[in-house]
Amino acid sequence: MYREKGYATMAQKDLRDVAAAEEKFFAKTGTYHPIDHCASPDPAARCEIKELPEVSTLSRGISLSIALLPNGFKGAARHVKSDTTCLWDST
């Protein structure tokens, strides 16, 4: 339980950081950037997000996706050793 909470907190922090970077990206470009390449089952892997330089890499073991909506985006993040999925809705 203790570790589970730590893994969920890590995923939540990365998702919050990516959401803030998405808003900065939108302010510059007028669009959000979809992310669908950060689904790694390897707990030692770190996904790179080159399009959002404020984030650049996620914490080890985090899988994250950003889906575009007509008025914003939805995000989901999870650590490979956790059953908790953190969600974000920008709308």
Report yes or no: 11 and 62 within 8 Å, Cβ to Cβ: yes
Q: pLDDT-based confidence at 88, cuts 50/70/90?
A: very high
Residue pLDDT, tens place only, 72-86: 999 999 999 999 999
pLDDT at 54: 86
Cβ atoms < 10 Å from Cβ of 21: 19
pLDDT at 39: 80
Report yes or no: 40 and 63 within 8 Å, Cβ to Cβ: yes
Tokens of 86: 């953190």
Residue pLDDT, tens place only, 2-55: 788 899 999 999 999 999 999 999 999 999 999 988 887 678 889 988 888 889
Give the chain's length.
91
**Strand partners for 69:** 72
pLDDT at 43: 81
pLDDT at 79: 94
CA distance 19 to 73: 9
